[in-house]
Amino acid sequence: MSFDRESDKFRTFGRAKGRPLSPHMQTIWDSAFPRLKWDMAAPLPEGELWLEIGFGGAEHLLWQAEHHPDIHLVGAEPFLNGVAKAVRGAYDSDLENLSLHHGDVRDLLEALPNASLTKIFILFPDPWPKSRHHKRRLLRSKFIAELHRVLKPGGELRFASDIIHYVDWTLSRLKRHGGWDFTHTENSDWRVRGDDWPGTRYEAKAGREGRPCHYFKFTKLEKT
């Protein structure tokens, strides 16, 4: 079942725009973004389809696209300047396997058919730390159910955060859902990134400020 967006109107992200794009970047945007823009009405690409939600500065998104030319990667990000970084990176590297959605990922998910993705990345989402803002957190029960719907059986969800309260929040809701297999067996498994999981500038900032990062992998189970 897809989102009931009428009952899920809370904004899950902060600002959507920062500094104006430079004239040079605006020229690249005007040239490249129409080609990169994800068309939610078009047939899905053949082969594996991966999704990164809230890709920030696009370091991880671009790395994955460059290192996996045989898959198609979609990045969803509401912040214009972050999308511009992805556009610039795709333009500079001439990436053909990357699409971008500038906006709320819930609109993109709603348009996807069941079991259409093989991997989803959610890295360092906004933790909305104040109690009155918890309703704006991305990884709520409805959203987790939607992620489960669009993943193929055995598909992978990767989640990272440097906020332990948000980690606990997310793990409890994934467990409550009942459709996820926690693939880690040792505490050290979720303290270290794998070789296929590059770092981001936000992760580096968390390290400088003394906040340990946590990295998780889950696989989709069929609910019984």
Both tokens of residue 75? 């990045």
Q: Please identify which of the residues 4, 126, 181, 195 carries the catalytic annotation.
A: 126
Q: Strand 151-161 to strand 72-77: parallel, antiparallel, or no bridges (unpaired)?
A: unpaired
Q: Residue 40 in contact with residue 105, Cβ under 8 Å? A: no
Which helix (H) or strand (E) segment is 94 a member of?
none
Distance between CA atoms of residues 112 and 99, nearest Å? 14
Which helix (H) or strand (E) segment is 209 a member of?
none
Map 3-46 to HEC letters: CCHHHCCCCCCCCCCCCCCCHHHHHHHHHHHHHHECCCCCCCCC
Judge whether 4 counts as a catalytic residue.
no
Provide the annotated active-site residues: 126
